[in-house]
Structure 1
């Protein structure tokens, strides 16, 4: 089953990083968040990736072009340019790096990939969010509900700590990792090919042009994930993910 990762946005709210590189290439530890997302899917056996490129897509292409060599020992013949790799430690992934336009909206990027996706169920997620979601359970949920699409509903992390009182005195500070701030679209979507009937072109956003229409038709199921989820929307989010990674036990690291 194919996995689409939307990696073409401008990332304006993370401008401190994205003036130089696209947001999916911002590193958590020593790897781009895009790599972390792919590791989640690959852990459950899904390693056929379509990366929908846009803003600074050349950085993502260059990263994967160099990936095999960087993760291998090698012998280089300087005279003829031949390169032989040894002890290749790269993952067994097939990666399609697809130019989907600089200004194309999220739904439009999926529409541009229709020729490669229109024959079977496929998955889509954003290039800036990680989770400990069980992808196999998500797929089973999708199949059991027989809808054209399933969205993973999550509750965003608490933005601020809370106060608990004892009378008029502050008793303690609390900071919950997940807050009851309402359910939102957390990515990790599953689609049937019929969704392409709802998309017309580059100006279609994913939520308005597609998900809202499917909801109106009773064709959008919601898989409620109540455990860890975090997007990297701001610099604060990046630092939180970095701290979790540096702790040695990041919640989204489902792979061994």
Structure 2
């Protein structure tokens, strides 16, 4: 199953980094975050990727063109340039890098990929959000409800402490609070090809009219993920993900092994 990585935005909230590189190239523990996202899918055996780039697309193309050599060690004869590759880390990926336009919105980027996707079920996610998503269970859930689209619903990471008040007295202070009733769009979509018919033009965000129309038609369902998920929208987010890795904890790679699908969560229609 092909995996589309939406990787063309400006990343303006991370401008300290994205003034010189595309957002998916911002590093988390020495590797561009897009590779961490691809690791999640690869863990589940999905190694066929389509990168929908835009902003600084030439840099993205060069990165993936050179990734084979960057991912391995080699000896180079400087006199004639001959290289002897010494494989270091196997990476059985097939990556198509497609320039979908610098100012194209997410729905438009996906629409431009129609000829790359064929007529089969495919997956889509953002290149700047990681989570220990059980992709096998996600796909099984998608097939179980029979709709055209599945979005992974996640609970947003807590960013502020919480004060519990009785009158004017603080009775409890909680450093981090997760609102259990709050669900947001976490990416990690599964789409049938007919979803592309809901996309009308380059200036259309996937997250607005297309998903709303799918919800109205009863074709959009949400897979509830209660495990780890975190976006990289700001420098603070980047630093937090780096700190997790530095501590030896990479929570987005703490997943069950393929073939160990648990009980499927209940579907619910949503207009994320």
Q: Give the TM-score band, short-chain normalised.
A: over 0.9
Pairing 1:141–2:141 present: yes
Deviates more, 1:204-213 or 1:106-115: 204-213
8 Å CA contact 1:131, 1:252 repeated in 2: yes
Q: Residues 67-102 of structure 1: CA distance to partner in whole angstroms, max 9, x if unpaired?
A: 221232324344554433122424111111111000
Pairing 1:214–2:210 present: no
Which runs of structure 2 are paired with 1:25-64 in the superposition (5 Å)?
A: 25-64=25-64
8 Å CA contact 2:161, 2:177 repeated in 1: no
Q: What secondary structure does 2:230 align onto?
A: strand
* Partners of 2:209 and 2:103 in 1: CA distance: 16
Q: Residues 187-228 of structure 1: CA distance to partner in whole angstroms, max 9, x if unpaired?
A: 000000011111122122101231111001000011111121
8 Å CA contact 2:159, 2:176 repeated in 1: no
Q: CA deviation at 1:116?
A: 1.6
Q: Residues 118-160 of structure 1: CA distance to partner in whole angstroms, max 9, x if unpaired?
A: 3100000011100011000000000000000000111101120
Pairing 1:189–2:185 present: no
Q: What secondary structure does 1:206 align onto?
A: coil
Q: What secondary structure does 1:142 align onto?
A: helix
Q: CA deviation at 1:240?
A: 1.5
If the length of structure 2 is used for normalisation, what is the TM-score?
A: 0.87
What RMSD in Å do the two structures reach over aligned CA positions? Answer: 2.0
- CA separation of 1:200 and 1:166: change in aligned 2, threshold 3 A: closer
Deviates more, 1:171-180 or 1:196-205: 171-180
Which runs of structure 2 are paired with 1:109-188 in the superposition (5 Å)?
A: 109-164=109-164, 170=170, 172-176=172-176, 178-180=178-180, 182-188=182-188
8 Å CA contact 1:165, 1:172 repeated in 2: yes
**Matched residue, 1:86:** 86
What residue ranges of structure 2 are gaps of 5+ in the alignment?
Answer: 258-272
**Matched residue, 2:232:** 232
* Partners of 1:115 and 1:151 in 2: CA distance: 23
* Partners of 1:126 and 1:78 in 2: CA distance: 40
Q: CA deviation at 1:239?
A: 1.5
Q: What secondary structure does 1:66 align onto?
A: helix
8 Å CA contact 1:158, 1:175 repeated in 2: no
If the length of structure 1 is used for normalisation, what is the TM-score?
A: 0.93
8 Å CA contact 1:142, 1:149 repeated in 2: yes
Aligned residues between the structures: 256
